[in-house]
Amino acid sequence: MPKSNYSIKYLPSFDRELTEILYYITFVLENKSAAKRLLNNIKIEIEKRSKNPKSYEIYKGKKKTKYDWYRIYINNFTIFYTVKDNVMEIAHLIYCKRKLDNIL
């Protein structure tokens, strides 16, 4: 019997980062279609991952954390999430070239 999906919770940090990135792509780069594609891909990948979010590689940062961090790669961005009980908490959307250990 297949596992049911985990609940998805978007944290304020993720919402803020997503808004900033979509604003930049839409208004600074003037590429509304790219922003829409990115948003659509993010939604699709998070939904796919919610079926079994713990079956992926754990991110090993320099800081010790209470919960394990997992990653989803989308284009030039990385989504970071944790799993608490039956909830997949989407915490960050980070441009891949940034120093991750300063953020997580």
Question: pLDDT tens track of the chain, all 104 residues?
Answer: 345 589 999 999 999 999 999 999 999 999 999 999 999 999 999 999 999 999 998 988 777 788 999 999 999 999 999 999 999 999 999 998 656 655 65
d(CA 48, CA 25): 24
Kindly report the pTM of this predicted structure: 0.87
What is 7-102's CATH topology? YaeB-like fold (3.30.2310)
Give the start-to-end residue ranges of the domains of the chain: 7-102
For residues 81 and 65, the answer to whether their CB atoms sit within 8 Å is no
